[in-house]
């Protein structure tokens, strides 16, 4: 059965202690938790228990006896605690692209306006979903994409929905959620925030910012594992009437009545679609046991210290690298990106030397900082390795030029 929420009176700020809760391979400095979080040590046992004691012994009875059917809402509330959501207004399941589709379709159904506004820093999948929905509706809708710095000026009376990723996946540039949401509302638009690079990275307050919808994934900073389920938030003012374009059977008001027509469930439950990914939820459950204890303000302070030192060290030792992230800490998330003409090969050389980051086209070397398992010693060691890779031009080795399917 899913673990209950145990929030301590004094949230954890000792990140030396949290580091011991993760499996970190020997000789590796892992600066890619913004792409896939490392394995919590308790996850294998939690998944094995689900396999043996729940699926193995309970069989189909696990849906009731082990609480599988209730997990999307229970885990949703736990994730909701990290993004400032009201209880009962987050659920999870499916993929992030599906949750973006749901939120965007529901938002468009609430306005007569036809323009979706986004920016070129948004994750491409979000833009693809918007393009596909515009084409499917075929009702005169359009997607308007502007530079990130121009979003505020582009919020006009034509805009029906503002669709933004809070933290740019390439550079870490961070939008001001409160200000842009207020501007959108003043112009009569509805806001959807993608929190893929925010949840577990920075303090978020969707309720306080009056966000209409929010979505995000749990395999990055939240350590739910590859394929972990995505989440969706619907504000209380919209939850009773939001139209679920993907009217799956578990979003029905009475799934096991097997009625021939769809009746949406109450509130956020209508945003459920298909069968919950029970194995993945078991892994996320173990990870959330850690996150339930974390002080997000303390984590943010630690992240800023680590990223500031990293920028300082890299700029002092690697003249060939150009900072792509905002220099001001308040304007970036928990990642730092540098540009290099041979960024892919340079990153592969760093990985071969034990510093794991990743590459994003066309020239971005991306490094994520998660204080739960990255400390000052890791940062200093990473600076030294990257400086050696660049000074010795290790990236020129042909073995680092061949690109894999995942960069």
Catalytic sites, residue numbers:
123, 194, 219-220, 366
What number of CA atoms fall less than 13 Å from residue 58's CA on the CB side?
16
| CA 396 – CA 346 distance, rounded (Å) | 8
219 near 107, Cβ under 8 Å? Answer: no
Closest of 371, 32, 85, 369 to residue 215, by C-alpha = 85
The residue ranges of DSSP E strands in 31-158, in sequence order, are 39-40, 90-92, 115-119, 142-146
Q: How far from 97 is each of 10, 118, 126, 262, 272, CA to CA, in Å?
A: 36, 15, 7, 23, 14
Helix (H) or strand (E) holding 116: strand 115-119
- The span from the first CA to the last CA of the chain, in angstroms, equals 37
CA–CA gap between residue 46 and residue 344 (Å, rounded): 36
User: Residue 167, SS3?
Assistant: strand
Token pair for residue 150?
């121009």
Instruction: Quote the CA–CA distance of 355 and 84 in Å, as a whole number.
Output: 33
* Token pair 């949750």 in the structure block, residue: 99
368, 35 in Cβ contact below 8 A? yes
């Amino acid at each position: 059965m899913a673990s209950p929420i145990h929030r301590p009176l004094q949230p954890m700020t000792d990140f030396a202690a949290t580091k011991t809760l993760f499996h970190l391979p020997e000789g590796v400095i892992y600066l890619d938790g913004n792409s896939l979080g490392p394995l919590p040590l308790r996850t294998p046992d939690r998944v094995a228990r689900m396999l043996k004691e729940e699926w193995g012994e309970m069989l189909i009875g696990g849906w009731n006896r082990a609480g599988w059917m209730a997990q999307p809402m229970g885990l949703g509330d736990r994730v909701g605690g990290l993004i400032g959501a009201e209880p009962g207004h987050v659920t999870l399941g499916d993929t992030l692209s599906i949750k973006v589709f749901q939120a965007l379709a529901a938002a468009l159904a609430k306005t007569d306006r036809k323009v979706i506004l986004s920016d070129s820093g948004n994750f491409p999948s979000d833009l693809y979903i918007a393009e596909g929905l515009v084409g499917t509706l075929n009702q005169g809708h359009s997607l308007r994409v502007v530079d990130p710095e121009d979003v505020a000026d582009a919020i006009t009376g034509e805009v029906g929905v503002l669709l933004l990723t809070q933290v740019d996946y390439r550079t870490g540039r961070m939008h001001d959620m409160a200000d842009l949401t207020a501007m959108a509302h003043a112009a009569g638009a509805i806001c959807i925030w993608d929190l893929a690079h925010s949840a577990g990275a920075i303090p978020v307050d969707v309720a306080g910012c009056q966000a209409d919808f929010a979505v995000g994934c749990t395999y990055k900073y939240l350590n739910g594992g590859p394929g972990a389920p995505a989440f969706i938030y619907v504000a209380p003012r919209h939850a009773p009437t939001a139209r679920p374009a993907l009217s799956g059977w578990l979003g029905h008001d009475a799934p096991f009545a097997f009625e021939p027509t769809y009746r949406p469930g109450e509130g956020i439950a209508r945003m459920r679609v298909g069968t919950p990914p029970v194995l993945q939820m078991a892994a996320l459950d173990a990870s959330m046991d850690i996150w339930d204890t974390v002080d997000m303000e303390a984590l943010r302070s630690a992240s800023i210290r680590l990223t500031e030192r990293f920028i300082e060290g890299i700029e002092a030792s690697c003249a060939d690298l150009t900072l792509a992230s905002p220099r001001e800490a308040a304007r970036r998330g928990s990642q730092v990106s540098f540009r290099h003409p041979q960024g892919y090969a340079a990153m592969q050389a760093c990985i071969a030397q034990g510093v794991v980051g990743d590459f994003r086209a066309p020239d971005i070397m991306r490094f994520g900082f998660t204080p739960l398992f990255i400390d000052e010693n890791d940062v200093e060691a990473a600076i030294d390795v990257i400086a050696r890779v660049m000074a010795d031009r290790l990236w020129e080795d042909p073995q680092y030029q061949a690109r894999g399917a995942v960069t």
